[in-house]
């Protein structure tokens, strides 16, 4: 759906925001772009959407070059910016009609009604933007981006500074769009979101794409699981015959912890039988998977 080839961006103040970015976004996928602040996430999105002119390289959206065929390329795109860029004296409804109008599409009240209802904004349709709370304004930004029925939706940190409930709702919106076949590109700090929504994850740091991988594969590859066994009786030290790598005793002596990589040869079976032989009984067990966040921190630190 989107093809980014050799894109560089150096701002007029000399700041290099993007370095030779190559990236393909597939049709219908949810792609999460992760990276620390100032990594180039917004610059990359802005370059695709036409807000920033790349210094070099080409970008196509749905096969249309974003410079030569900008009309066709941009017609496919909906953009939800990070900041609350709204004209505060306008009503929610007029914001919607203008947004669609700019895209050269005929007014469609039924569509606006649907969008506003989906985003729990329907009762606010005649309210001026200035009277809305921050969370509501963010919904308006999303509503506005949907008015041109985009095939690709960009969400630039959609849940930054948003309460839990709204965050839930937004995740629902993304899931619904995904069901309808809309391609969604999402940048976020909240790795749980990427973990929950994304099909693929891209990690950008210092203007370079460090890694693009299927989320499940990435978590499998980088993910460690921790098995914790709650002991019936406290131990002062691990029995000497338990020598398996990755096994440790918690500080208070109530748990045995085992860190392992998922897959076959996890070593769980041998650990459990060894414990049984040593006469150690446990009352409960628990496994925990390392999150994308930990993976992300590890990856960024590695570079």
Partner 1 sequence: MNWIGLWTIYKKELQRTRRVLFQSVVSPVITTALYFVVFGSAIGSAVTTIDGVSYAQFIVPGLIMMALLANSFSAASSGIYFPKFIGSIYELLSAPISYVEITAGYVLAATTRALLIGGIIFGVALFFTPLPVLHPWWALVFSILVSFVFALFGFVVGLWASNFEQLGLLPTFVIAPLSFLGGVFYSISMLPPFWQTVTLFNPLVYMINGLRWAFFGITDVHPVWSMVVTLLFMILLFGVVAWIFKTGYKLRK
The contact set with partner 1 (CB under 8 A) reads 11-12, 46, 49-53, 70-75, 77, 79, 81, 83, 85-89, 94, 97-99, 101-106, 144, 148
CB 73 to partner 1: min, Å: 8
Q: Nearest Cα to 150, choosing from 127, 126, 134, 173?
A: 173
CB 102 to partner 1: min, Å: 4
CB 44 to partner 1: min, Å: 13
Shorter beta-carbon distance to partner 1: residue 89 or 252: 89
Shorter beta-carbon distance to partner 1: residue 105 or 225: 105
CB 91 to partner 1: min, Å: 10
Shorter beta-carbon distance to partner 1: residue 74 or 215: 74
Contacts of 201 (CB under 8 A, 6+ apart): 31, 32, 34, 194, 211, 212, 213, 214, 215, 218, 292
CB 56 to partner 1: min, Å: 15
């Amino acid at each position: 759906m989107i093809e980014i080839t050799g894109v560089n961006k150096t701002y007029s103040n000399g700041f290099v925001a993007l370095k030779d970015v190559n990236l393909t976004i597939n049709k219908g996928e949810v792609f999460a772009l992760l990276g620390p602040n100032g990594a180039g996430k917004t610059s990359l999105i802005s370059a695709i959407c036409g807000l920033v002119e790349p210094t070099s390289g080409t970008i196509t959206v749905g096969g249309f070059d974003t410079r030569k065929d900008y009309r066709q390329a941009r017609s496919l795109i909906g953009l939800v910016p990070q900041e609350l860029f709204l004209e505060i004296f306008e009503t929610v409804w007029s914001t919607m009609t203008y947004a669609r109008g700019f895209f050269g599409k005929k007014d469609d009240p039924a569509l606006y009604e649907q969008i506003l209802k989906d985003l729990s904004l329907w009762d606010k349709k005649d309210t001026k933007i200035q009277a809305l709370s921050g969370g509501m304004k963010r919904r308006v930004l999303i509503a506005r981006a949907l008015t041109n029925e985009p095939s690709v939706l960009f969400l630039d940190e959609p849940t930054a500074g948003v309460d839990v409930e709204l965050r839930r709702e937004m995740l629902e919106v993304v899931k619904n769009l995904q069901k309808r076949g809309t391609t969604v590109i999402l940048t976020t700090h909240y790795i749980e979101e990427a973990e929950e929504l994304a099909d693929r994850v891209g990690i950008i740091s210092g203007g370079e794409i460090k890694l693009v991988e299927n989320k499940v594969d990435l978590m499998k590859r980088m993910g460690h699981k921790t098995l914790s066994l709650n002991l019936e009786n406290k131990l002062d030290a691990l029995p000497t015959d338990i020598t398996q790598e990755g096994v440790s005793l918690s500080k208070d002596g109530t748990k045995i912890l085992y860190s392992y990589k998922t897959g076959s040869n996890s070593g769980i079976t041998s650990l459990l039988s060894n414990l049984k032989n040593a006469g150690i009984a446990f009352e409960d067990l628990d496994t925990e998977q390392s999150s994308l966040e930990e993976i992300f921190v590890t990856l960024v630190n590695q570079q």
